[in-house]
Structure 1
Amino acid sequence: MYAKLAKNNAKKSIKDYLIYFITITICVSLFYAITSLSSSSYELITEASYNFKTLKLILQYSTYVITAILILLVSYVNKYMIRRRQREFATYVLLGAEQKSVALMFFVETLVIGILAIIAGIFVGTLFSQAITAIVLISAKQEIIFSLRLYMDTVCITFIFFISMFCIIGLYNVIVLRKLKLIDMLNAHKQVEFQFKRSGKVYSSIFALSVILYSICGSCTIKILNSKNDYSPIYLMYIGVSLITFIIGTYALFYSIAYIMIYIKDKWINFKYEGTNLFLIGSIVSKIKTAPILMATISMTFLGAMISFIITLVMAQWSLGYLEMRVPYDIDIRNNYNTRFLKEANIRDVKELPKLDYSEVIDYLNNTGYDLESYCEVEKYIVNIDENNTFNVAISLSDFNKLRSMLGYKEIELKENEFTTQWHGATNNEVINNYLKKNYQLNINGKIFNISENSNYKESIGEGFYHKRDNIIILPDKVCEELDFLEVNFLANIENEMSYEEADDFQYNYVYEWFRKNNSEFVKKYSSESDITKSVIYTRVNSLETNNILNMTLAMRILGIYLGVVLLMISLTILSLSQLSDSIEHKDRFSVLKKLGVQGKEIDKIILKQISLYFTVPIAIAMIGVSIFTYNYYLYYKDIINVYVGDTTFILSIVFGVTLMIIVYICYFVGTYYSFKRNVND
């Protein structure tokens, strides 16, 4: 009997909680699609230069963490279902059913709904997995191949993960239901989560506090706009205070807003009794009053979803843009002589550092079939060392022009008494101008050099040339012969690309062995071979770096969108279910309106206004928070965004994230509206 009753209730629950069912289905489908990438049967056809093992591991374990957030949604919905149906459960007990059996019946009912959602989600997930595969292949510039299939190991993982989630929450609900008293179950519909238990002065004070906190947030944002972005503690404090005050202010606002609305309603008599305003205001205040913390949390969840959508898309593009500056050559080998190494190795004189000869590396690359297209051994020199052991790094004009030629830039010219500067691409123009005003002349061995008419260049030549500063000095060749030598960088472009395995072997095996063999005395003098080698020599291979950054970029894009979807669906599903609960529990109110002669179209308008306000308020507040966060984020990373992302791409990422959110929002809004009307009219 209980099994039949649970089955019938499950069918009814699917109809009543269709939005919840669809939400779980979509989340299951995304979980399955992402997890399927790590399936033992999954084949991702790409060129040998790509290896997506890291991507698969990141997606596999990160997906578990993100999906675990759904526990909040499942827990809320189960709590909501128990609360709504306690009178029904009490009726079963009065008819002779054991309370333990009723609790188990509810557990089976929710488990059936969950299993159906898992099954539906897996089949939808086969389509989503193809979309994710297409994203990976497009990013790797590969041909897109579609293949719809089920991966049984991923199916098992999906079932185990979600059923475990449903069972943990379900068994907890069984314990809760068994402990409920019959009288409490019968009176559950009269209870609310929150009542005005304090005086009006308390709620007025909290509302005033929320206004003050929002004012502080706005004041900090204005100060950020008017202040100089110098990354100082005060500047960072403004950013932190603006976000913290906004979050606390939001909770304070929702905690007190119901009381303030009632106060305004009582004072605004004419508006209160105009048309159906009294009914509408009562419904809205009732919902806000019963769950203020929930409404504020929904607003913050929506804020988190928006930030996840926008920032992960920007960060992914940031990584790709940084790659072009980080490794513009196919191969980059250099010494890694930083201050920490010199101190740890107890090297007091940089002249002790070995001058690397790359002729053997050149022969190796040509003899193994990679065929050097062009290369340059760039010698770096020390200029103007001071008492703090800081100095400028200089390279010769001929080496600089060779690098520019390799990268497709025009060569430059310098007079005998001139110098120019090369800057890291993310350096602020104001910083460059201030530096050049103070250093428009150089005194090298008693000879004065003036800054060239073209005083600075920012085209990327790789980031391995900058020591402690964000710039290097370009000098005529003859002058460099008189300077103290620092190190040699080897940059090369090859005609035949290395595969992932070949690049990994070259970077982590061949180069280290070559260095140890040719600098054995230096290695023995200062440390063990492995430690000193990894500290001194540094290699970057374009194909290997591209693969690693592509793995991180894809992971950020996929997981960022997934996290945003999960948070968005949690907030919108709770909003929707809360309204649908109101449509069922207060159906009699709408029946009274009909008996009073209110037309059906007018009732539809009331429903539309109620849902619009209930959906709009928390989301509108979240959008303000998103605007503040995005604005602060842009100001703080403005220089880097301009270089690696671009203003256009940054704006497009925001537009894409907001558009996606609006589409999902409209779908939930429309679904809630029509479900609400159906519940009222049935």
Structure 2
Amino acid sequence: MYVKLAKGNAKKSIKDYLIYFITITICVSLFYAITSLSSSSYELITEESYNFRALKLILQYATYVITATLILLVAYVNKYMIRRRKREFATYVLLGAEQKIVAFMFFVETLIIGILAIIAGIFIGTLFSQAITAIVLISAKQEVIFSLKLYMDTLGITFIFFISMFFIIGLYNVIVLRKIKLIDMLNAHKQVEFQFKRSGKVYSGIFALSVILYVICGSCTIKLMNLKIDYSVKSLMYVGISLITFIMGTYALFYSISYIMIYTKNKWVNFKYEGTNLFLIGSIVSKIKTAPILMATISMTFLGAMISFIITIVMAQWALGYLDMRVPYDIDIRNNYSTSFLKEVNIDGVKELPKLDYSDVIDYLNNNGYDVKSYCQVEKYIVNANNESILAIRLSDFNKLRSMLGYEEMELKDNEFTTQWHNATKDEVINNYVSKNPSLNIRGEIYNISGNSAYKESIGEGIYRSTENIIILPDKVCDNLDFVETNFVANIENEMSYEEANYFQSNYINDWFIKNNSEFVKKYSTEGDMTFRVIDPRIKSLETNNILNTTLAMRILGIYLGVVLLMISLTILSLSQLSDSIEHKDRFNVLRKLGIEENEVNKIILKQISVYFIVPITIAIIGVSIFIYNYYLFYKNIITVFVGDKTFILSSIFGVALMLGVYICYFGGTYYTFKRNVNN
């Protein structure tokens, strides 16, 4: 009998649960879609050069963590429903039902709603899984093929994960309901979460504190605008302080704002008694006063959702842009004798460093069908000029690197030099260096900087070692300089598979170096593997695969985290309003009896909901604008090079637009349901 009653209540309450049901359904569908990538039955057909095992693992476990935050939403919704229906539960108890049975009925009711949401979410998730698959295939430049399919292991994981969540909250609710006194159930509608318990001076002081915190936030932004960014702790401190003070200021504002509104209302007498303003102000103040911390938390959750949307998209694009600079060649073997290594193995000079010959590597590539179409052995030299040591390469090597990447070759006179710079280096740094070093004194000979004094086209990250620039000298000058190391870069006709590239990078190069430099390895090897500190091979296909795994994980998880945070906030905000529509229904009936027309009542409802929805989102948009602007100021040069200003702006607009789209849908649903509750 009680189970039938619970089922009947679930059917009656389906409209009350509608927003919650839709939210859980969407979250289940996204959880299923992302988790399906790690299914044993899932087949992601791509070229052999890609391996997405890391992506699947990252998505699988990160999805569990993100989705676990939904327990906050489930707990709040259950708390909301319990509070709203305490009088109903009291009626059951008065009619003779045991309190534990009433608690069990509520548990069954919420479990039924949850199971229906899981079933609906799984079927919608099959569509979302195809969208995620399409994102992966497009990123890997593969043909997109759609195939709707249910994955039984993922289906089981989804059911177990969400049912466990519902059981944990449900059992907790059973314990809570069993302990509530009957008199408290009957008077539940009279209870509030918060009342003014302190003097007006305290709330005025907290409001003043919120203003001060916002001023500090703004001043940090202004300071950052005028500060020379050097990526130091001091520079980063301004970004952190601005964000922290904004968050603290928001909580202080919401804690005190209801008192300030009441104070302003009492002073602004004419406005207070104009039309239905008194009723509207009373409703708004009453709600903000009862849950200030909740409103502030919702604002901050909106802020977190927008930051998640924007930053993950920007960071993913950053990683892709960095890839083009990091490894522009198919194969890049860096012969890197760092200063720390030279000291560690007690090499006083550079005479003992082996001058590598990569001919065996070229033969290996050709013999295994990869067909080297162009390559360059880049020899680096130490130049002691102008009382400092700088790194230099030959003009012929520099032109070979440029030609391999499709750039025009350049010329130098016998008494000239030029510079090549990391393309993320600021122009002011380059100009400052050029102005201070118009000439170099190399072993008594003066070399002047050429007309084209600086080049920023990417020729690979490995060329610079630990510096931002490298000197380009005529070939004959380098004949008398101290040799340091030899890098090797090559472009091949046929791309390596993932497994072959992994073997080449991890095994072959290491064995080749040991074989050809046995005496050096024997003399200077340490307990660690020395070869990997001397030889650092980079294969473009492997780097591309790793970057794709990272960027896809960031994009998918960033959007998922943003959606979860956004929907939790909007659902809580919506249910908070719908609770008012039921508990304060009599207030609107009084307005009708006083002669207020239905259109005017609807306007009051629209204004009330608009304030509750607009205030948190407005604060969040202000916060995200400050954060994103500070973020841009801090990483401006890097964003310009690797992301692009237009892409950064579009990513920011996309994040805000996506949030506003979902926001408007929840606003419309809340307004419609609020009117239905008041009118019925």
Report the TM-score when normalising by structure 1: 0.98
Match of 1:436 in 2: 434
Equivalents in 2 of 1:402, 1:47: separation in Å? 31
Match of 1:160 in 2: 160
- How many residues are treated as equivalent by the alignment? 680
Match of 1:517 in 2: 515
Q: Please state if 1:6 is matched with 2:14.
A: no
SS at match of 1:347: coil
Give the letter aligned to residue 355 of structure 1: K
Instruction: Show CA shifts across 1:289-336 (max 9, x none).
Output: 000000000000000000000000000000100000001000001212
Q: Give the C-alpha shift of residue 400 in structure 1.
A: 0.1
Equivalents in 1 of 2:230, 2:538: separation in Å? 32
Q: Would the alpha carbon gap of residues 10 and 350 (structure 1) be closer, same or farther in structure 2, given more than 3 Å must change?
A: farther
Equivalents in 2 of 1:632, 1:402: separation in Å? 41
Equivalents in 1 of 2:426, 2:639: separation in Å? 11
> Could you tell me whether the CA contact under 8 Å between 1:316 and 1:553 is conserved in 2?
yes
> Could you tell me whether the CA contact under 8 Å between 2:2 and 2:105 is conserved in 1?
yes
- Following superposition of structure 1 onto structure 2, how do residues 364-443 of structure 1 map, counting pairs within 5 Å? 364-384=364-384, 391-443=389-441
Equivalents in 1 of 2:526, 2:318: separation in Å? 38
Equivalents in 1 of 2:116, 2:344: separation in Å? 62
Match of 1:297 in 2: 297
Equivalents in 1 of 2:357, 2:577: separation in Å? 74
Instruction: Show CA shifts across 1:359-417 (max 9, x none).
Output: 10011111111001100001000112899xx7311000000000000000000011111
Match of 1:555 in 2: 553
Match of 1:176 in 2: 176
- Following superposition of structure 1 onto structure 2, how do residues 589-604 of structure 1 map, counting pairs within 5 Å? 589-604=587-602
Equivalents in 1 of 2:347, 2:11: separation in Å? 77
Equivalents in 1 of 2:84, 2:399: separation in Å? 76
Q: Give the C-alpha shift of residue 621 in structure 1.
A: 0.4
Identity %, equivalent residues: 82
> Could you tell me whether the CA contact under 8 Å between 1:17 and 1:577 is conserved in 2?
no
Q: Give the C-alpha shift of residue 228 in structure 1.
A: 2.2
- Following superposition of structure 1 onto structure 2, how do residues 80-479 of structure 1 map, counting pairs within 5 Å? 80-384=80-384, 391-479=389-477
Q: Give the C-alpha shift of residue 529 in structure 1.
A: 8.4
Report the TM-score when normalising by structure 2: 0.98
Match of 2:25 in 1: 25
> Could you tell me whether the CA contact under 8 Å between 2:385 and 2:442 is conserved in 1?
no
Q: Please state if 1:618 is matched with 2:616.
A: yes
Match of 1:42 in 2: 42
Instruction: Show CA shifts across 1:122-177 (max 9, x none).
Output: 00000000000000011011111000010000000000111111111111111111
Q: Give the C-alpha shift of residue 231 in structure 1.
A: 3.0
Equivalents in 2 of 1:148, 1:313: separation in Å? 27
Equivalents in 1 of 2:381, 2:279: separation in Å? 81
Match of 1:59 in 2: 59
> Could you tell me whether the CA contact under 8 Å between 1:365 and 1:371 is conserved in 2?
yes
SS at match of 1:619: helix
Equivalents in 2 of 1:462, 1:508: separation in Å? 20
Q: Give the C-alpha shift of residue 658 in structure 1.
A: 1.2
Picking from 652, 655, 665, the partner of 1:667 is 665
Give the letter aligned to residue 597 of structure 1: G
Higher mean C-alpha displacement, 499-508 vs 435-444? 435-444
Q: Would the alpha carbon gap of residues 363 and 257 (structure 1) be closer, same or farther in structure 2, given more than 3 Å must change?
A: same
SS at match of 1:350: coil
- Measured on the aligned residues, the alpha-carbon RMSD in Å equals 1.3
Match of 1:681 in 2: 679
Picking from 500, 503, 509, the partner of 2:498 is 500
Q: Would the alpha carbon gap of residues 68 and 368 (structure 1) be closer, same or farther in structure 2, given more than 3 Å must change?
A: same
Q: Give the C-alpha shift of residue 266 in structure 1.
A: 1.1
Instruction: Show CA shifts across 1:251-300 (max 9, x none).
Output: 00000000111111111111111111111111111110000000000000
SS at match of 1:531: coil
Picking from 535, 543, 546, the partner of 2:544 is 546
> Could you tell me whether the CA contact under 8 Å between 1:397 and 1:475 is conserved in 2?
yes
Give the letter aligned to residue 23 of structure 1: T
> Could you tell me whether the CA contact under 8 Å between 1:516 and 1:529 is conserved in 2?
no
Equivalents in 1 of 2:331, 2:232: separation in Å? 37
Q: Give the C-alpha shift of residue 233 in structure 1.
A: 4.0
Equivalents in 2 of 1:519, 1:529: separation in Å? 18
Instruction: Show CA shifts across 1:80-135 (max 9, x none).
Output: 11111112112211221111111111111111111111000000000000000000
Q: Give the C-alpha shift of residue 10 in structure 1.
A: 1.4
Equivalents in 1 of 2:243, 2:528: separation in Å? 46
> Could you tell me whether the CA contact under 8 Å between 2:386 and 2:441 is conserved in 1?
no
Equivalents in 2 of 1:230, 1:563: separation in Å? 31
Equivalents in 2 of 1:85, 1:365: separation in Å? 74
Q: Give the C-alpha shift of residue 531 in structure 1.
A: 0.6
